[in-house]
Amino acid sequence: MDAYQQLITTIALTMGVAWASGINLYATIAMLGILGSTGNIDLPTQLLVVQDPLVIGSAAIMYCVEFFADKTPGLDTGWDAIHSFIRIPAGVMLAAGAVGDVSTPLVVASGILGGTISGVSHSIKAGSRVLINTSPEPFSNWTASVLEDVAVIAGIWTAINYPLLFIGLFILFIILAIWLLPKIMRGIIILLKKIRGFFGATPEPTSQYKQPARANPPKKIKRIGPPDRK
């Protein structure tokens, strides 16, 4: 039973940190570090570095920066674009470290899965923000950002304290992502087409094989006068 519980806990923590990293990396690191340093969770050896006060402080500072950047329409999209190169690699490292002291192939496999999960959650967050930013009022943007922060904190807490429940919720998230991601992509494509139309559509190229217009045949000139006598 202990081995089974340990397996469930490891899976939940691995998937949890990868999922949360794709949404808010700095909140994930800060929360893991605080919980680990206060003794509320025993982190694997590979993740003990997040308990260092310097790491916790750096993550907390960056979380404060992201807290305001993520709630500013337009700026949040740029922030998400930059963090496409930060959140996903960090998700790989956190997921690989969360499995603990295991064989190298298992660590690599965990990193691959973790990077994929981080990429999915990051894509949903960034893509939905692009669509939300089309709304002229900022309240929808603020609401989405606050809900994301709450989801990350609640998700990590659930993964640690109720791992089986988190795994069930995580499966639902995967099903939702399969349904939602194509809709987000279609929405972004439609938005880009509208922006393109706003700045003026490009003229359609003329075919080089297009036949030239036929000239009108000359009109017959009626002769006025008596008919010719032969």
Per the prediction, the chain carries an average pLDDT of 88
pLDDT by residue (tens digit) across 134-165?
A: 888 888 889 999 999 999 999 999 999 999 99
**What is the model's pLDDT at position 136?**
80
The tens digit of pLDDT for each residue in 19-58 reads 999 999 999 999 999 999 999 899 999 999 999 999 999 9
The pTM for the full model equals 0.83
Q: Which long-range contacts (CB under 8 A, 24 or more apart) does 121-124 make?
A: 121/18, 121/19, 121/20, 121/21, 121/22, 121/23, 121/173, 121/177, 122/22, 122/23, 122/80, 122/83, 122/84, 122/87, 122/88, 123/22, 123/181, 123/184, 124/177, 124/180, 124/181, 124/184
pLDDT at 219 over 70: no
Residue 173: what pLDDT?
96
Interval 166-175: pLDDT, tens:
999 999 999 9
